[in-house]
Amino acid sequence: MESKIPAHISAPNGVWLAQFLLRTNEGKALAILSAAPLAFGAWALCSCFSFTTVLLITAVSVVGSYVIARGGKVSTKVDLSGKTAIVTGGNTGIGLESVRSLAQSGARVVLACRDTKKGEAARESITKSLTGSGSVEVRELDLSSTASIRAFVQAWGQADLHILMNNAGVMFPPYSKTADGFEVQIGTNHLGHMLLTVLLLPVIKRCAARVVTVSSIGHALYPILPKKQTWAEALSPSADKYNRELQYGNSKLANILFTRSLEAKLAGSGAHAYCCHPGVVRTELGRHAPEIQKLNDTLGSILFKSPSEGAQTQLYLATDPNAKPVLFHADCVPVESAPVSYSDEAAAELWAESCKLLKIEV
């Protein structure tokens, strides 16, 4: 019997969302920034403050929110000399900054991306300022194509791998399908990374590697899933039932459930699985959402993290000896993911249905 996916937004999830925002730096920044319009409102309605006081409150709230929104930082410097890392989508945004940081720490980093021309441009920009023993090389990897993923892994062979950073992603595109017929958000964000990880499992286990998968607060932020929808249906939506926000949330929820299942399968090998919310970052990810891009252009410099700041949590999970596996992280600290992400039934169903679509057995 197929299990139902619990609703994304229920009363408990609403409570979780408020708690999550208050625990993250971006949520605290938003709360502080809200002091400005509240002060203006109080001044306009009842002259509770002088205009000078209002301006002072506004200045403090803007500066305070900017400082706090920067998020956590990697505090432990780890020498990665002799280590090898793969970063998907490493040619732009937080992926690019992750490649830069790992290489600067001494690692050999494989920048895996679909557009190798852009990848080479990114590699050149990194190597110009690179010091030490680290290096960057570009390899083609299209996560929307199982053939490309299999070719990448076949070329990798049995070479050592110490960090796999499942970073690439797409958000809110119009309805489309991958080369294998998967809806593009689920196909790229979840299925592509799952296939890559599973095919590399022998190497991951042998090298006691870390697998870091980038999720998002979006795993619980979007509309309620129909209570009768199963993972089988969520993984293969029809064009007439496609909701871009909901499907993005599905893919990010899948990242968390996948991480939990993967950690169980890595038990005893020394390898571990990690998952995180990087924060709201000024990158190209929102290119399919004009409303997000507009917000980025107006308040982004205050409330949104830079790509370097947004990469900190996944770098922390990839390198810090104290990072905790499985637990969801934001701003370099463990935080609770939404209640829906703790369903063992949903995790098991997702894994089984994904294996069917990918034609693999694990």
Q: Which of 248, 274, 316, 342 is flagged as catalytic? A: 248
Average pLDDT over residues 102-122: 97
Q: What is the pLDDT of residue 193?
A: 98
Dig out the tokens for 212 from the structure.
């870091």
pLDDT > 90 fraction of the chain, expressed in percent and rounded: 55
Handedness of CA 80, 81, 83, 89 (dihedral sign): positive
Dig out the tokens for 3 from the structure.
């299990």
Q: What is the pLDDT of residue 245?
A: 85
Closest CA to 132 of 96, 92, 82, 93: 82
Average pLDDT, the chain: 83
pLDDT digits (tens, 9 = 90+) for 14-54: 556 666 665 666 665 555 455 445 544 554 555 555 555 54
Is 66 tagged catalytic? no
The string over 172-185, giving b where at least 16 C-beta atoms fall within 10 Å of a residue's C-beta and e elsewhere, is bbebeebebebbbb
Strands 328-330 and 333-334: antiparallel
Looking at residue 242, what DSSP letter applies? Answer: -
Looking at residue 130, what DSSP letter applies? Answer: -
pLDDT digits (tens, 9 = 90+) for 137-147: 999 999 999 99
Q: What φ, ψ does residue 269 adopt, rounded to 5°?
A: -90, -15
Q: How many CB atoms lie within 10 A of CB 46?
A: 8
Asked if residue 69 has pLDDT above 80, the reply is no
Q: What is the pLDDT of residue 158?
A: 97
DSSP calls for 170-231: --SPPS-B-TTS-BHHIIIIIIIHHHHHHHTHHHHHHTT-EEEEE--THHHHSPPPPTT-BH
Query: SS3 of 266, please?
Result: coil
Evaluate whether 181 touches 221 at the Cβ level (below 8 Å): no
Whether the full predicted model's pTM is greater than 0.85, yes or no, is no
DSSP calls for 47-103: --S-HHHHHHHHHHHHHHHHHHTT-----S----TT-EEEEETTTSHHHHHHHHHHH
pLDDT digits (tens, 9 = 90+) for 214-252: 999 888 765 444 455 678 888 888 899 888 888 898 999
